[in-house]
Amino acid sequence: MHKIEILNNLKGEVVIPPSKSVLHRALILASFSEHNVVINNVNYSLDIKATLNCLESLGINFIKRKDSITVIPSKFKKISDLDANESGSTLRFMIPLMLLLDEEISITGHNELKKRPLDAYIELFKEFNIKYEYDGLLPLKIKGKLEPNTYHLKGDKSSQFISGLLMVLPFLDGDSKVLLTTKLESKQYVDITIKEAREFGILIEEIDGGYFIKGKQKVKINSYTVEGDYSQAAFFLVANCLGADLKLKGLKRPSLQGDEKILYFLEQAGFYLNSDYKVIRKDLKSVCFSLKENPDLAPILGLLLSTLPSESRLIDLERLAYKESNRLLSTYELLKQIGVDVRIEDASLVIKHTTNYKEGFIDTFNDHRIVMTSFISTLLTKTNYINEYSPVNKSFPDFVSVFTDLGGLVYSSLDSARLLINEADLELKEAFLKRFKCIKEVLNYKIKNKLPVYDEKREKEVIERNMTNFNDEILSKYYLEFIEFLLKISKEYQSENYE
């Protein structure tokens, strides 16, 4: 258990880390280059490491520096196993790359990623007679070859399937099409892929019902700089809305990223920001936001909506079930823990205006966005306790150090445990004094009515009442000794003061 605390406020300058979505794509596109490509402004989150490790296993060479990665011209090689760790982007982006080799290859993942749906690819495997072994959980084993062709994909499953194909098809020997059989959701992520590919010199044409991809294209750039991540910036933007004084750097406007929409959401809620992203005016109002295209913003926007008048809603949250946690439930639990009046209606969160926030004991569900929201919520509660914060390594490894540099306090597990013991000791002291105040009244009654100090029946009742429903078998005997000791010193006090 870790104690998170903000004594005064968060204040300072925040350099927003590079966009994970953009960096995944840059690494894959650069892997097809026939010359060195330097990618600037990188970080090594667990998800990015997963993509790097998979590409290295496939034969791609890198020179890794603190803030840049040089991609060295390499040929894809035969490999038997890949590991996407917990990265959904890595998993879905690697599958088309695996099909370049016409070899039997398996890919696995860990924790919730093992359950991440792969329906769109499975349908393609069946259509194009690609051999596969998959029982609904990773690992997935495939053998086949990706050829220039027309591929039909559902647009309402995940944009990652479409992006995965769009990043590989331009490098095949012939032209291809990707046609959508249902309406495309999360279109902004496909737009990131297309716009970023264009910056690499790769053209993908949007046509009626899908995309046309010319084959035999080549990477034409020598260097690329990754822009700041709006999904990470959202935590600090909301922090400013909650009273922090933070200057944000590294964001690009207009951006490739769909989560740039956080700025629109904040303005709709009545928060007006200057060029440093500080709040300069408020005109707060209740809102209803659809997050069908921006599911990663749900936890931090849920926190913000609790400060708005009356009642607000986050709707279209179906896809939250397939994140690092069931993020609909984990966001709900987080908000409840800190005193927010919130309820789930279908795939929506209904959030009421809250004034009486309380310190929370928060299960972060191994979800990096729940962890970061828990930290920012401390602006409202002043203190929170969380079971772990290591999940931030998935996307923002420096988050905790940034938080402390801005004035937040984070105590280690041992420190937090001892602080909790200290608080429990203070509560125990108050309970002790309250108990003996009552014992004084009992003693005065006994003296007045000439009753004995020891009351065997009463003592048995006290023990029985306290031990009822005490369900910890290990601690049960110690709690019994504790109650018996209290009764012993109570008798001693009464005997010594009986007049």
The residue whose two tokens read 């890794």 is: 64
Residue 126 sits in the same domain as residue 244: no
In terms of domains, do 177 and 209 share one?
Answer: yes
Is the same domain home to 71 and 177? yes
Q: What is each CA distance from 256 to 92, 199, 281, in whole angstroms?
A: 20, 11, 27
> Residue 57 domain-assigned?
yes
pTM comes to: 0.74
Domain assignment present for 215: yes
Cα 496 to the center of its chain, rounded Å: 60
Are 366 and 311 in a shared domain? yes
In which domain, by residue range, is 257 found? 2-14+228-411
Tally the C-alpha atoms within 13 A of residue 217's C-alpha that lie toward its C-beta.
Answer: 25
Same domain, 123 and 263: no
Same domain, 138 and 261: no
Neighbours of 487 (CB within 10 A): 16
Q: How many domains does the chain have?
A: 3
Domain boundary among 376, 411, 446: 411
Q: What is the CATH number of the domain that holds 80?
A: 3.65.10.10
Does residue 386 lie within any of the structural domains?
yes
Q: Which of 225, 259, 283 is the last residue of a domain?
A: 225
| Domain co-membership, 40 together with 69 | yes
**Domain-located, residue 216:** yes
Minimal CA–CA distance to 1: which of 417, 374, 376?
417
Residues 112 and 51 in one domain: yes
Is 417 contained in some domain?
A: no
Which residues pair with residue 213 across a beta bridge? 176, 204
296 is catalytic: yes
Domain ends where: 379, 411, 443? 411
In a domain, 134, yes or no: yes
Say whether both 96 and 218 belong to one domain: yes
Q: Which listed residue (296, 316, 415, 472) is catalytic?
A: 296
Report d(CA 340, CA 328) in Å as an integer. 15
Q: Are 325 and 205 contained in the same domain?
A: no
Residues β-bridged to residue 11: 245
| Same domain for 319 and 171 | no
The tens-digit pLDDT sequence of the chain (499 residues) is 888 999 899 999 999 999 999 999 999 999 999 999 999 999 999 999 999 999 999 999 999 998 999 999 898 988 879 999 999 999 999 999 999 999 999 999 998 899 988 998 999 999 999 999 999 999 999 999 999 999 999 888 778 999 999 999 999 999 999 999 998 877 889 999 999 999 999 999 999 999 999 999 999 999 999 999 999 999 999 999 999 999 999 999 998 898 999 999 999 999 999 999 999 999 999 999 999 989 999 999 999 999 999 999 999 999 888 777 899 999 999 999 999 999 999 999 999 999 999 999 999 999 999 999 999 999 999 999 999 898 998 889 899 999 999 999 998 767 767 777 887 888 898 889 999 999 999 999 999 898 998 888 999 999 999 998 888 888 999 999 999 999 999 999 999 988 7
Let me know whether 190 and 250 are in one domain: no
Within a domain: 459 = yes
